[in-house]
């Protein structure tokens, strides 16, 4: 089995990432799975290359060693594990969707989509879910205005023709999930009008290419899973198993979002924190321990109980 750690190059690692790595490496250890590391810098307007060595340095310092992909000391050359190096590959995946008639060019602006959304669709999306799905704050549901216009892909947003109906999948921690991409996001974008690949498309293309079959990630991305499953199925690739873990909480039980309070590990380290203190804080804020105490990486990995129903292929 193969899982992955796939940080975006939009900032330094913080306590949320440490908790996430504890889940990825902890579950992988229990399952006998390997872990690859890839750099998600598909968004060239936000990603900054200098975060890559900083992230790798932090991973190494904390003791998270990937089995494959980019790791400390091997980060300078072009790599199939760094999304900004993979445009040709994404183009080839896009071609295979295009051959099937499943993509189209769209000239709508974000504002036009917002206006066309007014009413109905988001309400339908939330009514649809037996288990509430966290909608992404900036999530727009595209109604398909350009779907039959035959616009060129170049210079336009490239959209995937979302399949109708609900996608039902098992989250190995949370049980059965039901999402309907047609109501949730409509025909979602694979590439923007400036030629930048989107997270949904680059992530699935990479998971297929590398044979990732166990996706472990935070519950903030749960809303993306059904649409990603539609891409896997359309591309006739095996759908991975999924575990969406919970995020960080502060001492009073409130969720700590990525950008509040969660100081970068680089700063904490410079201020004198030890790796055991940082791992202990992440474990405590992640509710893996009832109170704070410094922890070795091995002890923290031992706290991760993985879903009993992961099937070992
Ligand atoms: N780059 C994404 C993040 O850091 C990873 C998403 C995923 O694991 O699918 O949130």
Q: Do residues 183 and 128 make contact, with C-beta atoms less than 8 angstroms apart?
A: yes
Reduced to 3 states (helix: H, G, I; strand: E, B; else coil), residue 203 is helix
Give the helix ranges, DSSP H, for the chain. Answer: 15-31, 51-62, 87-99, 110-117, 121-127, 181-184, 199-210, 225-234, 265-270, 275-285, 297-301
For the sheet containing 2-5, what is the strand order?
Answer: 2-5, 34-37, 68-69
The model's pTM? 0.91
Q: Can you tell me the distance from the alpha carbon of 198 to that of 221, in angstroms, rounded to the nearest whole number?
A: 14
In terms of Cα–Cα distance, which of 37, 49, 38, 42 is closest to 11? 49
126: CB partners within 8 A, 6+ apart: 132, 135
Pocket of ligand 1 (CB under 6 A): 6-8, 40, 203, 217, 221
Beta-sheet pairing, 157-160 with 189-191: antiparallel
pLDDT digits (tens, 9 = 90+) for 110-165: 888 888 876 544 444 444 443 344 445 567 899 999 999 999 999 999 999 999 99
262: CB partners within 8 A, 6+ apart: 14, 15, 16, 248, 256
Pocket test for ligand 1, best of 12, 23, 203, 229 (most atoms within 8 A of CB): 203
Task: Answer whether residue 310 shows pLDDT above 50.
Answer: no
- Atom 4 of ligand 1, residue of closest alpha carbon: 7
**pLDDT confidence band for 311 (50 / 70 / 90):** very low
Q: Can you tell me the distance from the alpha carbon of 240 to that of 215, in angstroms, rounded to the nearest whole number?
A: 6
User: Which is it for the CA torsion 103, 104, 105, 111, positive or negative?
Assistant: negative
The residue with tokens 């993979």 is 86
pLDDT digits (tens, 9 = 90+) for 161-207: 999 999 999 999 999 999 999 999 999 999 999 999 999 999 999 99
In terms of Cα–Cα distance, which of 178, 237, 153 is closest to 203? 237
Pocket test for ligand 1, best of 5, 8, 18 (most atoms within 8 A of CB): 8
- Determine the pLDDT at residue 25: 98
- Determine the pLDDT at residue 239: 98
């Amino acid at each position: 089995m193969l899982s992955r750690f796939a940080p975006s190059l939009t900032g330094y690692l913080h306590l949320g990432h440490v908790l996430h790595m504890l889940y990825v490496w902890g579950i992988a250890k229990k399952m006998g799975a390997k872990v690859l590391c890839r750099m998600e810098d598909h968004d060239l307007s936000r990603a900054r290359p200098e975060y890559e060595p900083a992230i790798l340095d932090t991973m190494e310092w904390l003791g998270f060693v990937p089995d494959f992909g980019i790791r400390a000391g091997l980060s300078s050359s072009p790599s199939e594990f760094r999304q900004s190096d993979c445009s040709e590959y994404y183009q080839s995946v896009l071609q295979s969707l295009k051959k099937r008639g499943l993509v189209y060019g769209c000239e709508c602006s974000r504002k036009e989509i917002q206006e066309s959304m007014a009413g109905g669709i988001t309400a339908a999306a939330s009514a649809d879910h037996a288990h509430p799905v966290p909608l992404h704050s900036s999530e727009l549901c595209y109604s398909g205005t350009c779907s039959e216009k035959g616009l060129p892909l170049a210079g336009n947003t490239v959209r995937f023709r979302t399949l109708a109906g609900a996608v039902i999948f098992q989250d190995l921690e949370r049980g059965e999930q039901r999402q309907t991409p047609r109501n949730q996001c409509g025909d979602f974008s694979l590439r923007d009008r400036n030629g930048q690949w989107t997270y949904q498309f680059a992530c699935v293309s990479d998971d297929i290419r590398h044979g990732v079959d166990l996706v472990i990630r935070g519950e903030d991305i749960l809303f993306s899973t059904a649409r990603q499953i539609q891409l896997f199925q359309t591309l006739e690739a095996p759908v991975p198993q999924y575990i969406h873990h919970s995020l960080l909480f502060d001492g009073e039980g409130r969720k700590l979002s990525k950008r509040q309070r969660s100081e970068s590990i680089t700063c904490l380290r410079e201020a004198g924190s030890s790796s055991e203190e940082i791992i202990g804080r992440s474990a405590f804020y992640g509710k893996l321990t009832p109170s704070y105490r410094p922890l070795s990486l091995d002890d923290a990995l031992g706290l991760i109980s993985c879903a009993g129903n992961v099937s070992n292929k």
